[in-house]
Structure 1
Amino acid sequence: LTGLIWQQVQPRSPDTVELIGEEGFVLAADLPEAVKTELAWASHLLLTNTVTRSLVVFYQGKVLLRRGILGTKSEVVPGVILKQVLEKQKPIYLVVLTVYPGRLEFDYLPENTQGVICQPIGNQGALILAANAPRSYTKQDENWIAGIADKLAVTLST
């Protein structure tokens, strides 16, 4: 028992996969320059500082940004999960996407996405983040994502 106490136990990190899709960065053409800059900044931070490998900004019924590994579909049709996020303005974290029947609504993300966070952007939209490993977002990541979504809400509402 003493030997076990002295050992430092490291939790096993989740198995990652290579997401299927092409690397890309697509912004809606009709956005003001300041909004484009803000979306580019926010998406860059999320892709480089969290386990996010793909993200979509859905606001007022249209896609403003797709970045990272892109899925084959570019259109977002809100399903049950996204509608719930928009209505209740509470984030939903699907830790292992493959076990949720509602995963089919995320057909605009890479087909082998392992985890998804739908984070509300004010009461008008959502930031949809895809990870390449299940159970990979930490509480700190979730707080960071919420803060960036709040900042985007202010920018997009002006």
Structure 2
Amino acid sequence: MAKSDPNRILRLLPIVVGGLGAVLLLINRLLTSDITDSQARADVLGVILSGVLILTGLLWQQVQPQPPDAVELIGEEGFVLAPDLPERIKIELAWASHLLLTNTVTRSLVVFYQGQVLLRRGILSTKSEVTIGPILKRVLETQKPVYLVNLKVYPGKIEFDYLPENTQGIICQPIGKEGVLILGANAPRSYTKQDENWIAGIADKLAVTLGEVMGNE
């Protein structure tokens, strides 16, 4: 379901008021038989004010961006951890995923590390296995995140079949040199720069913990 714009009425208000004012001025002018100089000046001023209001409303429509349309992701909500994980890893993954799901637009996430899926949380797809495609491979090789702002325009989206099929945006954030944090949003262009910095910080924290615990196994 598309997310409505909560400021839509406010954005349209100057156009409505300006248009109404212009119509009332016209009606008043038509119903007045004798036009005095003062009324003529008042009419000119009213037309100018109405024009300014209408122009302001039109500018607001262009300057203030419409919020991206959100959808209801297809899938079941869940929280799945890989079996036999150390308790410290379970706590760290639960903490990190909770923060991401409650403080960013993320609705589905996967932690992929050392060739296995450690965590799936949020709205889950029926497929649980992660197959490394070109995008994920590039993230692992370059150690740089990839943000697909509007997934439906990317042909490479087929490699993310382990996320809900109608996922709108994806961030692939490296976890050290051996893993990737994959985040799915329910609206395109919805992650802010602050979100990206927040995600990078959590991924770095996970990299330290996973490296210390799983690197010693």
The question of a shared fold, defined as TM-score above 0.5 by the shorter chain, is answered with yes
- Following superposition of structure 1 onto structure 2, how do residues 72-91 of structure 1 map, counting pairs within 5 Å? 72-91=126-145
- Following superposition of structure 1 onto structure 2, how do residues 96-107 of structure 1 map, counting pairs within 5 Å? 96-107=150-161
Q: What's the TM-score once normalised by structure 2's chain length?
A: 0.70
Give the drift of 1:12: 1.1
RMSD: 1.7
Higher relative contact order (CA 8 A, sep 6+): 1
Determine the C-alpha separation between the residues in 1 that align with 2:60 and 2:206: 44
- Following superposition of structure 1 onto structure 2, how do residues 2-151 of structure 1 map, counting pairs within 5 Å? 3=53, 4=56, 10-151=64-205
Determine the C-alpha separation between the residues in 2 that align with 1:122 and 1:60: 10
Determine the C-alpha separation between the residues in 2 that align with 1:63 and 1:113: 19
2:11 matched to which residue of 1? none
Higher helix share: 2
Give the drift of 1:10: 3.6
Determine the C-alpha separation between the residues in 1 that align with 2:84 and 2:140: 23
Higher strand share: 1
Runs of at least 5 residues in structure 1 that lack an aligned partner in the other structure? none
Does 73-82 or 4-13 show the bigger shift?
Answer: 4-13
Percent sequence identity over aligned pairs: 79
Q: Post-superposition, which runs of at least 4 consecutive aligned residues in structure 1 deviate over 4 A?
A: 5-9
1:157 equivalenced with 2:198 (yes/no)? no
Give the drift of 1:30: 1.5
Amino acid corresponding to residue 146 of structure 2 in structure 1: I
Larger Rg over CA atoms: 2
Give the drift of 1:29: 1.3
2:32 matched to which residue of 1? none
Determine the C-alpha separation between the residues in 2 that align with 1:91 and 1:22: 27
